[in-house]
Amino acid sequence: MKRRNFLKNSSAATAGLISAPLIASCKNDVEKKAANPEKIKLTRPIAICTWNFKNATAKAWEVLKDGGSSLDAVQKGAMVEEADVNNQTVGVGGRPDRDGNVTLDACIMDKDGNCGAVLCMQNIASPISVARKVMEETPHVMLAGKGAEKFAYEQGFEKVNLLTEKSKQEWLEWKKTSEYKPIINIENHDTIGILAIDKNGDISGACTTSGMGYKYAGRVGDSPIIGAGLFVDNEIGAATATGVGEEVVRTVGSFLIVELMRQGKSPQEACEEGVKRIMSKNAGRNDFQIGFIAINKKGETGGYCIQPGFTYRTYSEEGHVNNPTESFIKA
């Protein structure tokens, strides 16, 4: 039997406690199996997200605890932040680009490696939902700009004004300096990346953002790029990023972290290694932020950031936890 099918069959039949050989999803586990045949506790279902978005993980948990899929959980969780006008880095209320237009990026990925993304899309409140439609209703992975918006209308999404008065006033204030220097997410950080494992042990992820505030028109970061802002491999785990997208793209950050887990690192070790990889390409810099979170097939989680102050939120049977993380600077 192929390993993929083997894992699929075994995960569908179990939740909670299973024997070690059945979760040979991480190299470490495979190695441990011979020496330690006892049961390993799985933490699932579980949802985790970047930053302290407790409403997002609570929404994801609502879906998961009722037996819903991880795909529905991450979409519904992400939608909470997209709809929150007080979150100025995601969805409605997001900060505009330098020309005053709010442009949104999002992607979603499921247990089978299916994925969908929208890039630089205007006037639609829930880009993650459009990304899912791209995944499910088209033969494509990414739709950008006007094409993405047109597709969204065809799918029944409504046109909305994404620029709130607050974000507009701040943009007008920023324009007075007329200096093109987007602030790099040390304070302006609310992109949500959300990962979940459902009761069947299947993993999905979503990532959604309005990107860097006052960015150049047309600029797209890491968040809608599969492999950079988000990556899911249902045999291993998943990772997602927040921070300066250009740096995450340069290292294909989320893919890197999943691959590090495949090689046997824990989610925490993988996130640390991913951040260190970025820092090694930016010697001497500490003026930008990158944070990663990750989850493995067992439901172990990790998070790490270049700057202090990064947290990530988990929701599992044990309840709601806000996990502060270590940072590279501090380390």
Binding site for ligand SD4 (CB under 6 A): 89, 185, 189-191, 209, 211-212, 221-223, 242-245
Joined together, the tokens standing for residue 162 give 């994404």
Q: Which of 103, 164, 191, 325 is catalytic?
A: 191
Nearest approach, Cβ of 274 to ligand SD4 (angstroms)? 14
Nearest approach, Cβ of 132 to ligand SD4 (angstroms)? 19
Q: Which is nearer to ligand SD4, 201 or 302 (CB)?
A: 302
Joined together, the tokens standing for residue 270 give 């993988």
Q: Please list, in sequence order, all residues whose beta carbon lies within 8 angstroms of the beta carbon of residue 194, skipping any fewer than 6 positions away.
A: 47, 48, 49, 50, 53, 56, 57, 60, 74, 77, 78, 205, 206, 207, 240
What's the gap between Cα 96 and its chain centre?
A: 21
**Alpha carbon distance 239, 254 (integer Å):** 5
Nearest approach, Cβ of 298 to ligand SD4 (angstroms)? 27
**Alpha carbon distance 18, 211 (integer Å):** 41
Q: Which is nearer to ligand SD4, 94 or 299 (CB)?
A: 94
Q: Which is nearer to ligand SD4, 214 or 315 (CB)?
A: 214
Residue 191 annotated in active site: yes
Nearest approach, Cβ of 250 to ligand SD4 (angstroms)? 12
Q: Which is nearer to ligand SD4, 116 or 245 (CB)?
A: 245
Joined together, the tokens standing for residue 1 give 């039997």
Joined together, the tokens standing for residue 20 give 């070690």
Indicate which residues carry an active-site annotation. Answer: 191
